[in-house]
A and B are shown apart, each in its own frame.
Chain A
Amino acid sequence: MGEPGDGGDRAAGPVDAAPAGGPRSTSAGPGRVVVAVYGVFALSAGARAGVQLATRIAEAPLAYSLSAFSAVVYLLAAVALGRGMRRLAWVTVSIELVGVLLIGTVSLALPQDFPDATVWSTYGAGYGFVPVVLPIVGLLWLWRTRARR
């Protein structure tokens, strides 16, 4: 059940052996890229939040705590997608989408509480808006790989 344009470049293997109607692996094919990007964001948000909380927590405790929260969400999503834990993936990616939209809006409404950019500030503007596109991609991918009866 390959995508159009895939041609013959996919060798049959364990990934394709899911029973007809079963869910496809979330970490194969394009999923590999999805997991990679989630991994990059988990590390980047985690490092940023770590430095912020360790050195300047008094400046903006709300923003930096949210920063840490986003890092945890990215990490869980990366692990869930990487290991095929579909329910956890659905939950974390949904939280991620709500998070970036909510925090993005709050950061615009209350800029004084967000002196230092966090991953979700201004809808991820500091990260090329990837943070707002990524959860949509994640949800689409989960939908694409779902079990079909």
Chain B
Amino acid sequence: MNETLVIIEAVAAAVLGLTTFVTAALGRRPGWVEVIGAGVLALGMLVQAIVAFVLMATSHDTTDGPTFVLYALASVLLLPVGVLWAAAEKTRWGNVVLGVAFLTLAVVVLRLDVVWGG
């Protein structure tokens, strides 16, 4: 996986996560910025996972196939599930839930890179 891309993704997720925590501290619930950010990042994760699966099927030898697949699935599903779980909570805590999803994604992306790289 492209190192720069991974760093950008992890930083984007972390920044969005911290943004949601700040907005939550200010007493606000998730707004359009966070949701659109989540959408863009989730889409990126999906594209990345598809590319990775294709590469895995055709050539690349990852250190641990099953682990990589699970991390990749997690990276794709985390934000959509996070947004859904956060959406029903109409208070600042919905923002915190989203923040947890973003920060978890940052960790997952970094782990994904480690497992891919071998």
Which of A's residues lie within 8 Å of B, judged by CB?
A: 6-7, 9-11, 13, 28-33, 35-37, 39-40, 43-44, 47, 50-51, 54-55
Contacts and interface: CB of A to CB of B under 8 A. Distances in A.
Contact of A47 (B28, B70, B85, B104): B70
A39 B91 CA distance: 20
Nearest to B104: A40
B93 interface: yes
Contacts, number: 52
Chain B contact residues: over half helix, strand or loop, or mixed?
A: helix
Contact of A9 (B27, B66, B70, B74): B27
21 contacts: A9-B27, A9-B29, A9-B91, A13-B90, A29-B91, A29-B93, A30-B93, A31-B93, A32-B86, A32-B93, A32-B94, A32-B97, A33-B100, A35-B85, A36-B82, A36-B100, A40-B100, A51-B66, A51-B67, A54-B66, A55-B66
Given A10-B91, A51-B66, A55-B66, 4 more contacts: A33-B96, A35-B85, A36-B100, A40-B104
B114 to A, nearest CB: 13
Interface in B45-94: 64, 66-67, 70, 74, 82, 85-86, 88-94
